[in-house]
Amino acid sequence: MYPIIKTTRSVVFFLLSSCSLGGISLYSAQAGEVESQYSEINLSVSKNLIIPAYQYFELQSNLLESAANEYCDLQSNANFETLQGSFHQTMDAWQAVQIYNFGPATLFNWNYRIQFWPDAKGSGPRQLKQLMEESDPVKLTEEVFPRLSVGVQGLPALETLLFTPSQERLADGFPCALAVAISANLSRGATDIRQRWEDGFLNDMRGEGNFFASAQDASVELLKVLSDRIEATDLQKLRSVIGESPDRVRLSRAESSNSARSIRNIKINMSALHALYSGTQPNLSGLFNKELADAIEVAFLESNKLLRELPDSFEEALAVPEGYRIVTEAASAIDRVYDALKVALADSTVYLGFNALDGD
C-alpha cells in the first residue's frame, strides 16, 4: 500500500516481562512468538471491531446520501425528519471510528474532510457562508467539491444545514444540492477508508505490510489511540466546555451543539474506546498486568455508566439543578480511566513516545 520499506528484521530479542499475552507468558517468549501474539491482537481488533465499525459508517453514509436525495426530490417535512435522523445515525457511526486517527483515515485528509473539528478559527462556518452566497453549482460537482475547504465537505457543514434554526430549511436549489454533495462525499470517504482497511491495511496491522515496523509497532499505535483519545475526549470534548466552574461554561466549544448531541458523541467515543480495550478476544488488556488491566476495565465500566445517565446535549444536562456537578463527575470518571491506563502503561513494556510528544 505504501512505497516504504519496513525496518523490521529478524532480530532475536528477549522481552522479559511477567505480563501475559493471549494466555502465553511473555517471560520466556521468543521474538517470533511475541510478534505473532501482537499480530493476533491486532487482527482480532481490526476484524472484529474496527472494520465492522467502518462498514457501519459506510452503510449509514450511503443511507444519508439516499435520504438527502429523497428530501431534495420530494421536499416533504417527513423526508426532512428522515434526513435529520439519518444525520444522527451517520454521526453515531462516525463517532465510533473517529478515534482511529491513523492509517487509511488520514489518507487524502479524509479524517478532516469527514469532520473538521475542533475548528478553532471558525473557518468552517465562514467558508460555508461564502459557498452559500456564491451558490455556484460547479463547486458541488464530484470533481471540484473534494478540493474545497475541508470545513464545507463534512459533517459539521451538514449539521449547520440541517439543524441551525436561522438557516432556511433546505429549500430547493443550492442548499439542497450542497447537502447531497456533502453526503455523497461522506459516502465516498467511508467506502475508501473501509476498502483500504479490508484490502491492505489489515496486513499492515498484522505487521506484514510496510506501514508499521512490526505487529508490535501496530499494537503500540492502538495503545496510543486508546491513551490519546481518552485524554482528548476528556479535555477537548468535555472539560473545555464545562470549564472550571458553572460560570465558565462555554457551550460554543461543544462538538455538535447545533444538533444537540455533544454528550452523545462522548458516550459513543468512550464506548468505542472501551471496546478497543477489551471488547474482542484477544485484546489490548492482555498486554498489561492482570490487576492493573482489571482496574482499567472497572474504570471504563464506571465512567460509561455515568455517561449513559446523562442526556445527549450539554444544554439539557446543565439545565437541571446539580447538572454541572453530575457532568463534572462524569469527567472525573474519564480521568480515572486515563489514570488507570497510565499506571498500567508505566508498569508495562510499552513506551508511547518522547520526541513525537514534545519536539522542537
**Residues at the contact surface with another protein, assessed by CB under 8 A:** 1-9, 11-18, 31, 35, 106-109, 112-113, 116, 150, 210-214, 216-217, 220, 345-357, 359-360
Cell of 34: 511475541
| Least distance between another protein and beta carbon 131 (Å) | 17
CB of 79 to another protein, least distance (A): 33
CB-neighbour burial class of residue 26 (10 A; exposed 0-12, middle 13-18, buried 19+):
buried
Distance CA 141, CA 320 (A): 46
Q: Which three cell numbers stand for residue 261?
A: 448531541
CB of 46 to another protein, least distance (A): 17
Closest CB to another protein among residues 331, 341? 341
124-156 burial: b if 16+ Cβ within 10 Å, else e:
beebbeebbeeeeeebbeeeebbebbbbbbbbb
State the nearest-atom distance from the C-beta of 338 to another protein, in Å. Answer: 16
Q: Which three cell numbers stand for residue 320?
A: 437541571
Dist CA 218 CA 231 (whole Å): 20
State the nearest-atom distance from the C-beta of 33 to another protein, in Å.
Answer: 13
- The residue among 59 and 213 lying less far from another protein, judged by its C-beta, is 213
β-pair partners for 21: 24
With the CA atoms of 93, 94, 96 and 99 taken in that order, what torsion angle do they form, in degrees rounded to the nearest 10?
170
Shorter beta-carbon distance to another protein: residue 124 or 175: 124
In the complex, minimum distance from the CB of residue 353 to another protein, in angstroms, rounded to a whole number: 5
Residue nearer to another protein on the CB measure, 3 or 321: 3
Please, what sign has the CA dihedral across residues 72, 78, 80, 86? negative
Name the minimum Å distance from CB 60 to another protein: 23
Closer to another protein by Cβ: residue 16 or 298: 16
Judged by CB, which is closer to another protein: 84, or 195? 195
User: Exposed, middle or buried by CB within 10 Å (0-12, 13-18, 19+), for 105?
Assistant: buried
Q: Using alpha carbons only, what angle is made at residue 194 by residues 268 and 96, rounded to the nearest 5 degrees?
A: 5
